[in-house]
Amino acid sequence: MKPAPFTYHDPGTVDEAIALLGQHEDAKLLAGGQSLMPMLNMRFVVPDHVVDLNGVAGLAGITDAGDALEIGAMTRQRDLMRDAAVAAKAPIIPEALEFVGHFQTRNRGTIGGSLCHLDPAAEQPCLMAAYDAVLTVQGPDGTREVPFAEWPLAYMIPSIGPDELLTKVRVPNWAAGHGYGFAEYARRHGDFAIVSAAALLEVSGGTISRAAIAIGGADVRPIRLVEAEAALIGQAANAETFKAAGEMARKIDAISDAYVSSAYRQRLAATMVERALAKAGSRAGGSA
């Protein structure tokens, strides 16, 4: 399984990369390669041009921007797992990344690559949905910001133009001591989740004051359980509450395919949401 021939480019700056995208209509961006290379090898994609981002200056790195973390699109998943600021401010990220592929793939894979590839079962888009992360996209006419809710356009298609580049992701902080929990069911360690759930909670005096629940793998885009989140406010952070939230998750519209039925995805959604919330609840400071 060898790729079809292409012309390879390795720009050194973001502007160069954008210029190349503008010049060449049929170009694919190469980030970590863990998703694109299999597709190239199998000839599922046959681009005329491949633009390698691995040499572009300034696209990788993690900055603590006070009220948020700013993560460069080319930041390796491995580095996200090892970073002290991420561990302190957004601990759900390293927790979830344990489920993402294997350490060999995390050595190359990037957060930007995952967010642009937008596999419905991928964990990183699910996290960004929970965070209402803001994505910065740069094109020939400058930069624009895309709230994550507006990022997935269709199945594996993000809202990014053919001559635009995702440069960074802004992950807003939750209060110190917030509860977090990531749960997924995959058949084997490292597999894409059949269904995953990310839960963030702020709890004070034993009651929930803020909640975000995102489900991955049930639809072409991560689903925020807005109703369940609202219902959690003011509730005790206990097992009963979390089970009820799980039951609300069972009602989502889940896709069906040749491998997995929608009913099973719904069942998993209920179980994963309950488990993610339970983890979040046990970690939240301020819980009873």
Binding site for other proteins (CB under 8 A): 1-8, 10, 30, 33-34, 37-38, 40-43, 50, 52, 54, 78, 101-105, 107-108, 185, 187-192, 258-261, 264, 267-268, 271, 275
Q: What is the DSSP string of 65-133?
A: -SSEEEEETT-BHHHHHH-HHHHHH-THHHHHHTTSS-HHHHTT-BHHHHHHH--TT-HHHHHHHHHT-
Shortest reach from residue 133's CB to other proteins, in Å:
26
DSSP SS3 for 278: helix
Distance, CA of 266 to CA of 133 (rounded, Å): 25
Pick 53 or 134: Cβ nearer other proteins: 53
Angle between helices 262-283 and 239-249 (to 10 degrees): 150
φ, ψ at 159 (rounded to 5°): -85, 75
CB-CB contact of 35 with 106 (8 Å): no
CB of 34 to other proteins, least distance (A): 6
Q: In angstroms, give the least distance from the CB of 264 to other proteins.
A: 4
Which phi-psi region, left, alpha or beta, contains residue 75 (left: φ > 0; alpha: ψ -120 to 50)?
A: beta
Q: Which is nearer to other proteins, 165 or 270 (CB)?
A: 270
Question: Which residue, 121 or 203, has its beta carbon nearer to other proteins?
Answer: 121
Kindly state the smallest distance separating residue 202's Cβ from other proteins, in Å. Answer: 26
Closer CB to other proteins, 120 or 286, in the complex: 120
Comparing CB distances to other proteins, the nearer of 26 and 145 is 26
Residue 41 corresponds to which tokens in the numbers above? Answer: 């090898």
Q: In the bound complex, what is the minimum distance in angstroms from residue 82's beta carbon to other proteins? A: 10
Q: Which is nearer to other proteins, 22 or 190 (CB)?
A: 190
Coil, strand or helix: which one is 20?
A: helix
- Beta-carbon count within 10 A of 115 CB: 24
With 0-12 CB in 10 A as exposed, 13-18 as middle and 19+ as buried, what is 57?
A: exposed
Residues 6+ apart with CB under 8 A from 283: 179, 180, 181
Nearer Cβ to other proteins (3/139): 3
Residue 285 beta carbon to other proteins: minimum distance, rounded to whole angstroms = 27
Q: How far is the CB of 189 from other proteins (least distance, A)?
A: 4
Please name the residue that has the structure tokens 């190469």.
Answer: 30
Output the smallest distance, CB 278 to other proteins, in A. Answer: 12
Cβ proximity to other proteins: between 103 and 233 the closer is 103
